[in-house]
Amino acid sequence: MAKQMIDYQKSTFNNVFNAMNMLQEQSEKMTMAFLEQSPAIPKTGKKSVQEWSQAVKKGREDFKKVLDDNFSKMETLFSDAGPKA
């Protein structure tokens, strides 16, 4: 039963994370398109936004990796604690 709960939580997390990821990527594309079309924003400002966007993307990837690793550890913990046949 614990493994089913972990699988459900992992599946739910992956679905929410993927939806959030798509939303953030779309927002990034819209922001970059706006910046490219706006002559009033200096190149240094555009570069700052691009660097910020890369930092956010790396943060998302790191967060996903940590959660995936911890889900894997939980699965191992509960599979090792299961009944012995």
User: What confidence tens digit (pLDDT) does each residue in 44-67 have?
Assistant: 988 999 999 999 999 999 999 999
Q: Is the pLDDT of residue 82 over 70?
A: no
DSSP 81: S
Q: Global pTM?
A: 0.77
Secondary structure (DSSP) of 7-43 = HHHHHHHHHHHHHHHHHHHHHHHHHHHHHHH-TTS-H
Q: Is 82 helix (H, G, I), strand (E, B) or coil?
A: coil
pLDDT value, residue 53: 93
pLDDT value, residue 81: 63
Domain ranges in the chain? 55-80
pLDDT value, residue 28: 93
Amino acid letter, 20: M
